[in-house]
Amino acid sequence: MAISSKDIISLTHARTKLTELCEEVQTKGREKIITKNGESCAALIDANRLDHYHRLEREHIHLTLLEEAICGIEDLAEGNTLTLSQLKTRHGR
């Protein structure tokens, strides 16, 4: 769901209407951007959606690690390897 201008609120307004804002976020799925001194500083989103975002992030990390492992196995099979000495020279250690 796209954020509209109605979903951008000041920190002062958020303080006074937090209960109502939480209800709207939970029931209507309307995320809120909270601003402080005219700049975004926080977001108010449904807790289940936040959990979903965190799961997606973990899955992305795992997929990236698997892709790197596959590349390493392919390099090994093709003989694209370095000795420890070559690795230390390349990375200055």
**pLDDT digit string, tens, across residues 18-54:** 999 999 999 998 999 999 999 999 999 999 999 999 9
Sheet architecture: strand order including 39-44: 8-10, 32-36, 39-44
Q: Is the dihedral of CA 15, 21, 26, 30 positive or negative?
A: negative
pTM of the model: 0.67
Instruction: For residues 72 and 64, give the distance between their C-alpha atoms in angstroms, rounded to a whole number.
Output: 12
8 Å CB contact between 32 and 4: no
At 1, the pLDDT band (50, 70, 90 cuts) reads: low
